[in-house]
Amino acid sequence: MRAALAALLIALPLAGLAAGDAGSRYAGLPGGRFESALDYEDAKNGVRIAPFALMRKPVTNAEFLAFVKRNPEWQRGKVPTLFAEERYLQHWSSPTVPGPEALPEQPVVWVSWFAANAYCESLGARLPTWSEWEYAAAADEIRRDARKDPAWRERILAWYSRPSNTALPRAGLQAANAYGVHDLHGLVWEWTDDYSALLMDSDNRNQGDPDKSRFCGAGALSMDDRDNYAVLMRVAMLSSLDGRDATANLGFRCARSAP
Amino acid sequence: MTFRFRDAARRLRTLSLGLLLAAPLALAGPPKDAPLPGDSIYQLPVKLTDQDGKTRDWRGLRGKPRVVSMFYTSCKYICPLVVDSGKAVEHRLTPAQRQRIGLVLVSMDPARDDAAALKRVAEQRRLDTKRWTLAAPPKDDVRSVAGVLGIKYRALADGEFNHTSALVLVDADGRILARTERMGPIPDPEFLAAVRKAVDGT
């Protein structure tokens, strides 16, 4: 037994990031200077993104079930209402049975930011920042930055215009992007660690008028790239949320900083 | 940040039992050892380090209504206004009412807001630390504290923060009773009324 374990411990590092358990769940992203579609007053030359790892797929019902079984305080009915609104996991058959409306391989939805954050922390991980998410999501299957391609934009927008009352596909069904990450578009919306850093006025026309803005300092964010509706919609949606909110299309995935 | 509600609750119960025995004459509020309501902000376990360098779970703030807000000490523009707003509420209470309210400013910049920085603001702004608590959470807990208070912020490249400002009134058990984003020397009348009601009710 001990020998087998030792052999395993030796084999694992050799298998490397691609085959190890955590490794296969995460893709490594190199980071670098990234031009956001958001117009940051304080980062006119782009945001700097450190190397990080991002889960290849959004967290599924099966994975979230394992988490709430290990951490009963996050089960529906037990979680303090401070951390999750009443619709938290409402589509599950019971607090510990996802059931027919939440198949094991479907991404988990109806989760609050606090729950998503706790899930990632339970793995020694964290939620990705908005910049990390936006950077990873700029890639298509072959290019790391496909955002200027009108055909690609059309494809993403087509998803947003689909009715949201149809059943969610399995996570990982779509082809991976250039980094090996699936489903950043076309499946669910995703929490980011700093969802509440996206200070966007609900009415963009208020920008530049400090009396009308809710935010001090550099004022609200504005879109640098107004044709990038997919990003605009993500930001508008995230900026409208409270940490305890849960919705039918909102899931998450975790990230890790490079060691 | 870890979520160990029950452990923390158990510790809290033991601790408050000690407090109750030690101070039998303490004014009756809701018992501090009762389970926290599910919507209490104190459900979030956070260790705050205050202007005197004392580090404790913010559940120690339980027991009287408090006006809670977030700020950071190096902020030149809006944060002084947050302090002004808290003082304005305080000044419009009777001396008796003032005894029964607490004001808590939580820093969103723990990297720079150590006890000395917090104490400096308390002294410069003449904040009575019998009522006022200026404190910083661990770096990784700031987003969660902001989350339960409904405050948004973003760290800027130059060390400043872009943030929303709010005063949040919680009852003795940490349930949110009222909030206002109206800052300045003239208190939001509805918010002030809620504060008066909260202190008169206990």
Considering only CB atoms, A216 lies closest to which of B36, B78, B148, namely B78
Task: Print the domain residue range for A96.
Answer: 21-194+240-257
Average pLDDT over residues B35-42: 95
Lowest mean pLDDT among A184-188, A212-216, A252-256, B93-97: A212-216
Q: Is A82 exposed, middle or buried (0-12, 13-18, 19+ CB in 10 A)?
A: buried
Cβ pair A208, A219 in contact under 8 A: yes
Closest residue of chain A to B144, computed from CA coordinates: A114
How close A243 gets to chain B, by Cα (Å)? 5
Residue with tokens 């889960």: A55
- Mean pLDDT, rounded, of chain B: 86
Asked if A218's CB is within 8 angstroms of B44's CB, the reply is no
The pLDDT of residue B40 is above 70? yes
- Kindly list the residues from chain A whose CB atom is less than 8 angstroms away from the CB atom of residue B6: 73
The pLDDT of residue A10 is above 70? no
Considering only CB atoms, A216 lies closest to which of B41, B158, B165, namely B165
The total number of structural domains in chain B stands at 1
The pLDDT of residue B45 is above 80? yes
Chain A and chain B share a number of CB contacts under 8 A equal to: 85
Tens of pLDDT along B107-129? 999 999 999 999 999 999 999 99
Alpha-carbon distance B53 to B135, whole Å?
9
Considering only CB atoms, A113 lies closest to which of B38, B40, B147, namely B147
Q: Does any domain span residue A37?
A: yes
Q: Does any domain span residue A230?
A: no
The total number of structural domains in chain A stands at 1
The pLDDT of residue B8 is above 50? no
Q: Work out the pLDDT band at B145, boundaries 50, 70, 90.
A: very high
- Kindly list the residues from chain A whose CB atom is less than 8 angstroms away from the CB atom of residue B77: 216-217
Q: What percent of chain B has pLDDT over 70?
A: 84
Alpha-carbon distance A107 to A168, whole Å?
8
Tens of pLDDT along A199-209? 765 444 344 44
Q: Does any domain span residue A124?
A: yes
Alpha-carbon distance A23 to A46, whole Å?
29
Q: Which residue has the higher pLDDT, B76 or B16?
A: B76
Alpha-carbon distance B102 to B68, whole Å?
8
* B84 touching A (Cβ < 8 Å): no
Average pLDDT over residues A164-170: 82
Provide the ipTM.
Answer: 0.80
DSSP string, A89-107: TTTSSBTTB--TTS-TTSB
Lowest mean pLDDT among A7-11, A51-55, B176-180: A7-11
**pLDDT on residue B26:** 40
The pLDDT of residue A256 is above 80? yes
Model pTM?
0.83
Which residue type does A122 have? S
Average pLDDT over residues B160-187: 94
Average pLDDT over residues B170-179: 97
Q: Does any domain span residue A93?
A: yes
Alpha-carbon distance B1 to B148, whole Å?
14
Q: Which helix (H) or strand (E) holds A32?
A: strand A32-34
What CATH number is attached to the domain comprising B154?
3.40.30.10
Q: What angle do CA A102, A104, A106 make, to 5 degrees?
A: 65
How close B92 gets to chain A, by Cα (Å)? 25
Cβ pair A45, A32 in contact under 8 A: no
**pLDDT on residue B103:** 98
Considering only CB atoms, B152 lies closest to which of A74, A83, A196, namely A196
**pLDDT on residue A231:** 81
Average pLDDT over residues B126-134: 96
Tokens read off for B39: 């919507």
* B23 touching A (Cβ < 8 Å): no
Q: Is A236 exposed, middle or buried (0-12, 13-18, 19+ CB in 10 A)?
A: middle
Conformational region of residue A88, where left means phi above 0, alpha means psi within -120 to 50, and beta covers everything else: beta
Considering only CB atoms, B163 lies closest to which of A80, A114, A217, namely A217
Residues with Cβ within 8 Å of A44's Cβ and at least 6 positions away in sequence, in order, are none
Task: Print the domain residue range for B85.
Answer: 5-201
Q: Terminus-to-terminus CA distance in chain A, angstroms?
A: 31
Q: Does any domain span residue A119?
A: yes
* B156 touching A (Cβ < 8 Å): yes
What CATH number is attached to the domain comprising A46?
3.90.1580.10
Average pLDDT over residues A211-233: 59
- Kindly list the residues from chain A whose CB atom is less than 8 angstroms away from the CB atom of residue B150: 242
Alpha-carbon distance B33 to B11, whole Å?
10
**pLDDT on residue A188:** 93
* B7 touching A (Cβ < 8 Å): no
* A24 touching B (Cβ < 8 Å): no
Alpha-carbon distance A233 to A228, whole Å?
9
The pLDDT of residue A225 is above 80? no
* A215 touching B (Cβ < 8 Å): yes
The pLDDT of residue B13 is above 50? no
The pLDDT of residue A55 is above 50? yes
